[in-house]
Amino acid sequence: MYEPENENEISEQTNETVSSGEYRYGGGFEKESIYSDAHYTSADDNTVPPRYYTPPEPKRPVKKEKSGKGGKLIGLIALCLVCAILGGVVGAGFMSGRLSERVESLEKARNELVLAQAARDAAESEGTVATPVSSGAALTAAQLYDQACKQVVGVTTEVTYTNFFGMNSSSAVSGTGFIVSSDGYILTNYHVIELAAQNNKDVNVILHDGTRYVASIVGYEKYNDIAVLKIDAEGLTPVVFGNSSGIAVGDLVYAVGNPLGELDFSMSTGHVSALDRLITSDESGVAINMFQIDAAVNSGNSGGPVYNAAGEVIGVVTAKYASTGVEGLGFAIPINDAVSIANDLITKGYVSGKAYMGVSIDQRYNAMYAQYWGMPVGAYVYSVESGSCADKAGVQEKDIIIKLGERNITGYTDLTSALHSFSAGDTTDVTVYRGGEEITLTITFDEAKS
């Protein structure tokens, strides 16, 4: 029977690496095509510098330097054993003292943000970020661009890597974001600030006039590729949200951002090409609902807004088709989804309603191991969190999860993806292989708090 060999070996198998940045169109998890995000491409290995774009210094004079208040959100990665912590597939008791201190610091900073937001809400009788509003009169392209320049920001962070000669080098990761409140909340993609979150690096925000800030990371939701930043500023011009549920194929759209990390505040135009595309990230395996546009988007556009003809934001640029010679295939997260996530991150520090299972999965267990040991492919349960819904359902260590709901499970990525099709409180069947037989259990999912 398959047995994990030792803790150190297992840990090595589950360390997180630089995101591949690739997406696929899932089409219901059937035939898939490879996509890449509009932010960066992957490094071949740890000895080759990542192919990030390094923007030049802004040509406009810098007016002031400010640092955002509050702690930076630390990326919670797998800490030991085989436990890769993704979505609700987690283990219990792996938090170090040092990490606990950082989380406490972050919690304090987040509480301050929530209290400040509550005070503003009471004074202004407004929502946390905003709610979608109906479309207004159409703007000319020039009018829209003039407006967008007040609302769109550049987002950069520095990463370090080992170069060909074994020396540490650094490079900039560049993306785009947009202002969602006059006091400095900014929405962008998680993958734009992913390495900064994981490595406690500064995130820099640059306004159109050249003013540069160091932002704090309020929160992020990696599976939906959304992050919220905060800069110490007042009197900013926030975007107006449109209603992404009302968009139609053929609608005119504009994308404003920083393609290639160099051509800052560029605008491209196009149309909505398709709706309800399921785009799957190679790293998480989770399908995200997006709409397709033919406006030109490139590396550095990630996290930027998609405007409708009225100058309202209806989406967040996230991915583009990666095949050589193919253009005109960009994808955006609907703004209604993004705003809902952003509000949860600001007020709660996590996205509410996500299903949580409470198991740790040995990612080394694959088809080769299964064949060798004469067992089925699936997600090998390394441990079960005491008191979790998996524990209550009867899932045990060394079980192999082979089905969740109606979806067959062939490994960790399948399980993570399947889990994200459920919400907290949902009840379904989970089928496990144990002791030579298949056992079907009933599970009611807990709510993920991170």
Domain that holds residue 380: 353-447
* pLDDT at 126 (0 to 100): 46
Note whether 244 and 132 are within 8 A (CB): yes
Asked whether residue 89 is domain-assigned, the answer is no
In 3D, which of 141, 140, 139, 121 has the Cα closest to residue 130? 121
Same domain, 334 and 428: no
Question: What pLDDT score does 298 carry?
Answer: 82
- What is the token pair recorded at 56? 């030049």
Residues 428 and 377 in one domain: yes
Q: In residues, how long is the chain? A: 450
For the record, the structure tokens of 163 come out as 């170069």
In whole angstroms, what is the distance from residue 205 CA to residue 201 CA? 13
Of 284, 308, 338, at which residue does a domain stop? 338
Residue 289 inside a domain? The answer is yes
> How deeply is 23 buried, as exposed, middle or buried, from its count of CB atoms within 10 A (0-12, 13-18, 19+)?
buried
Q: How many independent structural domains does the chain possess?
A: 2
pLDDT of residue 128: 59
Q: Cα–Cα distance between 385 and 394 in angstroms, integer?
A: 11
Instruction: Indicate whether 357 and 278 sit together in one domain.
Output: no
Residue 435 falls inside a structural domain:
yes
Same domain flag for 282 and 316: yes
Q: What is the pLDDT of residue 107?
A: 47
* pLDDT, one tens digit for every residue, the chain (450 residues): 676 654 333 333 333 322 334 444 444 333 333 334 433 333 333 333 333 333 343 444 444 444 443 333 333 223 222 332 223 343 333 233 333 444 443 444 444 344 334 433 443 444 456 555 545 789 999 999 999 999 999 999 887 777 777 777 777 788 999 999 999 999 999 999 998 998 888 999 999 999 999 999 999 998 899 999 999 999 999 999 999 999 999 999 999 998 766 678 999 999 999 999 988 876 667 888 999 999 988 878 999 999 999 999 999 999 765 554 556 689 999 999 999 999 999 999 899 999 999 999 999 999 999 999 999 999 999 999 999 999 999 999 999 999 999 999 999 989 998 998 999 999 999 999 999 999 999 999 999 987
Helix, strand, coil content of the chain in percent (nearest 5): 20, 35, 45
CATH number at residue 374: 2.30.42.10
Q: Same domain, yes or no, for 438 and 386?
A: yes
Residues ≥6 apart with Cβ < 8 Å to 355: 87, 88, 419, 420, 422, 423, 424, 426, 445, 446, 447, 448
Q: Which CATH number covers residue 167?
A: 2.40.10.120
- Helix or strand or coil: residue 70? coil
Question: For the segment 242-273, what is each residue's pLDDT rounded down to a tens digit?
Answer: 999 999 999 999 999 987 666 789 999 999 99
Residue 28 lies in a domain: yes
Same domain, 138 and 272: yes
Neighbours of 183 (CB within 10 A): 16
* C-alpha atoms less than 13 angstroms from C-alpha of 390 in its C-beta half-sphere: 28
Do residues 90 and 385 lie in contact, with contact meaning Cβ atoms separated by under 8 Å? yes
Six-digit token pair at 194?
Answer: 């992913």
Task: Name the residues annotated as catalytic.
Answer: 191, 225, 302
Q: What's the confidence (pLDDT) of residue 37?
A: 45
Answer yes or no: do 286 and 367 share one domain.
Answer: no
Same domain, 308 and 395: no
Do residues 385 and 285 both lie within one domain?
A: no
| Position 26 in a domain | yes
Asked if residues 398 and 380 have their Cβ atoms less than 8 Å apart, the reply is yes
Which of 283, 309, 338 is where one domain is finished?
A: 338
pLDDT attached to residue 164:
75
DSSP state at residue 112: H
Does residue 103 belong to any structural domain of this protein? no
Alpha carbons 194 and 127: distance in angstroms, whole number? 27
Residue 202 resides in a domain: yes
Together in a domain, 397 and 279: no
Shared-domain flag, residues 295 and 398: no
Q: Is 144 contained in some domain? A: yes
Residues 377 and 333 in one domain: no
Cα distances (angstroms) measured from residue 16 to each of 4, 146, 423, 442: 19, 41, 26, 31
Last residue of a domain, one of 308, 338, 368: 338
